[in-house]
Amino acid sequence: MDMLGGLTPSEFLRDYWQKKPLVIRQAFPDFQCPVSADELAGLACEEGVESRIVIENDDGKPWQLHNGPFSPDRFSSLPEQDWTLLVQGLDHWVPDIADLLEHFRFIPNWRLDDIMASFAPKGGSVGPHYDQYDVFLLQAQGHRRWTFGGHCDHTSPRVEGTPLRILSSWDGEETVTLAPGDMLYLPPGIGHHGVAEDDCITLSVGFRAPTVDDILTGFTDFLCSQSDASDHLNDPDLKIQDNPGTIQPDVVDRLETVIREKLEARRQLALWFGQFSTAPKSMDIVVPAEEPASTGDVAEAIHAGEHLAEAIRAGEQLRWNEGSRFAYYEFASETALFVDGEQFLLKGDAQPFAPLLCSGARVDMPTLARLSEDEALLGLLTTLYNQGSIYFE
Ligand code: SIN
Ligand code: CO
What pLDDT, in 10s, does the model give residues 346-369? 999 899 999 999 999 999 988 888
Say how many Å lie between the CA of residue 294 and the centre of ligand 1.
44
Please give the pLDDT value at position 114: 95
Please give the pLDDT value at position 132: 94
Q: 305 pLDDT exceeds 70?
A: no
Q: 315 pLDDT exceeds 60?
A: no
Kindly report the protein residue whose alpha carbon is nearest to atom 4 of ligand 1: 126
Weakest mean pLDDT among 145-149, 165-169, 264-268: 264-268
Q: Are 338 and 274 in contact (CB under 8 A)?
A: yes
Report d(CA 45, CA 181) in Å as an integer. 28
Query: Which bound ligand lies closest to the C-alpha atom of 54?
Result: 1
Please give the pLDDT value at position 304: 38
Query: Which bound ligand lies closest to the C-alpha atom of 52?
Result: 1
Neighbours of 230 (CB within 10 A): 7
Please give the pLDDT value at position 2: 77
Say how many Å lie between the CA of residue 131 and the centre of ligand 2.
5
Say how many Å lie between the CA of residue 129 and the centre of ligand 2.
6
Q: 334 pLDDT exceeds 90?
A: yes
Pocket of ligand 1 (CB under 6 A): 84, 118, 125-126, 131, 135, 192, 194, 202, 204
At residue 85, the 3 state secondary structure works out as strand
Report d(CA 180, CA 150) in Å as an integer. 25
Mean pLDDT of 203-228: 94
Phi first, then psi: give them for residue 114, nearest 5 degrees.
Answer: -170, 180
Percent of the chain surpassing pLDDT 70: 92
Predicted confidence band of residue 84 (pLDDT cuts 50, 70, 90): very high
Please give the pLDDT value at position 298: 61
Which atom of ligand 1 sits closest to the CA of residue 129? 7
Cα-to-chain-centroid distance, residue 306: 39
Query: Which bound ligand lies closest to the C-alpha atom of 132?
Result: 2
Mean pLDDT of 86-104: 95
At residue 377, the 3 state secondary structure works out as helix
Predicted confidence band of residue 121 (pLDDT cuts 50, 70, 90): very high
Kindly report the protein residue whose alpha carbon is nearest to atom 1 of ligand 1: 118
Q: 185 pLDDT exceeds 50?
A: yes
Q: 92 pLDDT exceeds 90?
A: yes
Mean pLDDT of 229-258: 93
Q: 140 pLDDT exceeds 70?
A: yes
Q: 307 pLDDT exceeds 50?
A: no
Q: Which of 90, 134, 204 to mutate to test the pocket of ligand 1 (most atoms within 8 A of CB)?
A: 204
Please give the pLDDT value at position 151: 96
Q: 246 pLDDT exceeds 50?
A: yes
Q: Which residues 6+ apart lie within 8 Å of 320 measured at CB?
A: 326, 361, 389, 390
Say how many Å lie between the CA of residue 192 and the centre of ligand 2.
6
Query: Which bound ligand lies closest to the C-alpha atom of 141?
Result: 1
What pLDDT, in 10s, does the model give residues 43-66? 999 999 999 999 999 989 999 999
Which atom of ligand 1 sits closest to the CA of residue 118? 2
Q: Which residues 6+ apart lie within 8 Å of 153 measured at CB?
A: 130, 189
pTM assigned to the model: 0.91
Predicted confidence band of residue 296 (pLDDT cuts 50, 70, 90): low
Kindly report the protein residue whose alpha carbon is nearest to atom 5 of ligand 1: 204
Q: 139 pLDDT exceeds 80?
A: yes
Say how many Å lie between the CA of residue 280 and the centre of ligand 2.
22
Please give the pLDDT value at position 381: 86
Neighbours of 166 (CB within 10 A): 21
Which atom of ligand 1 sits closest to the CA of residue 117? 2
Say how many Å lie between the CA of residue 121 and the centre of ligand 1.
13
Mean pLDDT of 193-198: 98
Q: Which helix (H) or strand (E) holds 147?
A: strand 144-151
Please give the pLDDT value at position 312: 40
Say how many Å lie between the CA of residue 137 and the centre of ligand 1.
7
What pLDDT, in 10s, does the model give residues 266-284? 899 999 999 999 998 876 6
Say how many Å lie between the CA of residue 388 and the centre of ligand 1.
31
Say how many Å lie between the CA of residue 139 and the centre of ligand 2.
13
Mean pLDDT of 176-200: 98
| Amino acid in the structure at residue 306 | E
Q: Which of 56, 85, 118, 143 to mutate to test the pocket of ligand 1 (most atoms within 8 A of CB)?
A: 118
Query: Which bound ligand lies closest to the C-alpha atom of 118?
Result: 1
| Amino acid in the structure at residue 124 | G
